[in-house]
A = this chain, B = another copy of it.
């Protein structure tokens, strides 16, 4: 019976405020590569693990665990849907090998002519989030004026490209010059700006959207949302995907311009990607050809080695990553 050394990142406790590297430790144990008797669990070798801001919410509120979306290879399976050698993506853990209930597997990976890491991003949860939030919640029409915050992130960079494919005008905000250049030069945004260099966001938005905003894809909440509310057009839509600027504040910033929802008949709709996973086959059918033809691109920031997991995750909250933050644990 084979045994392996299994490196794991564990959390010392519930995290409060911004997560820090010192909240996490790396431990090593021995794992037997065999399923327990009559188990219908699945034993996984983790290949690529995703670093997503929403994990902080789990860390703060739910459990001091290290549950994480990832791409993995099945080593042993107690469930008939999965067999040894299958590639899957789903909920696994921040470690090299994981034993997970089969219900945590989201989808089997059928298309391997694209980078496997894509299933933590463009072809995984963030991709579906952008797709569902923009097309299903945002109801875009050709010619719509679209604004995306955290626009170079895992979700934002796709929202912008989906908006261009739909014939919209799209502007993105990000927090460094490098990201702004990426948005304009690589990701096809019509315009982009560094929000840290704009002292008056309302004036900035008026400059980029003299006629107002039809769709604001909100990834950040707070002050940006407040300025956007002053610039929405009648019947505008705000898919609320995330509010990363607020997650780690002891006291969230107040949003003061909500009365604008009324006269402008604006709809703010919170959504969660898991409500839309039934659309995954349709999503792949839409997106895979665009990826293969190079019409949709995806910027990843890949850290290598489990021991770099804590830093990669913590970096999300200061915007250190450029593009989707992925952790490469093993190549195969």
Contacts and interface: CB of A to CB of B under 8 A. Distances in A.
A264 B257 contact: no
A240 interface: yes
Interface stretch (A68-76, A208-216, A247-255, A297-305): A247-255
A270 B262 contact: yes
A243 B266 CA distance: 14
Interface residues of A, number: 32
Interface string A225-263: 100000000000000111100110001111111111111
Contacts of A247: 259
B267 A267 contact: yes
A262 B275 contact: no
Nearest to A252: B256
A268 interface: yes
A323 to B, nearest CB: 23
Contact of A270 (B261, B270, B271): B261
A229 B225 CA distance: 17
A265 interface: yes
Contacts of A57: 263
A259 B240 CA distance: 8
Contacts of A270: 260-267
Nearest to A257: B252
A153 interface: no
A221 interface: yes
Given A253-B254, A267-B267, A259 B243 contact: yes
A133 B221 CA distance: 26
A204 interface: no
A269 interface: yes
A221 B271 contact: no
B267 A272 contact: no
Interface string A144-186: 0000000000000000000000000000000000000000000
29 contacts: A221-B258, A221-B259, A240-B258, A240-B261, A240-B262, A241-B262, A242-B262, A243-B258, A243-B262, A246-B258, A247-B259, A252-B256, A252-B259, A253-B254, A254-B255, A255-B255, A261-B269, A261-B270, A262-B270, A262-B271, A263-B270, A263-B272, A265-B270, A265-B271, A265-B275, A267-B267, A267-B268, A267-B269, A267-B270
Sorted nearest first, the 6 A-B pairs with minimum C-beta distance are: A254-B254, A261-B270, A262-B270, A252-B256, A268-B268, A267-B269
Interface of A: 57, 221, 225, 240-243, 246-247, 251-272, 275
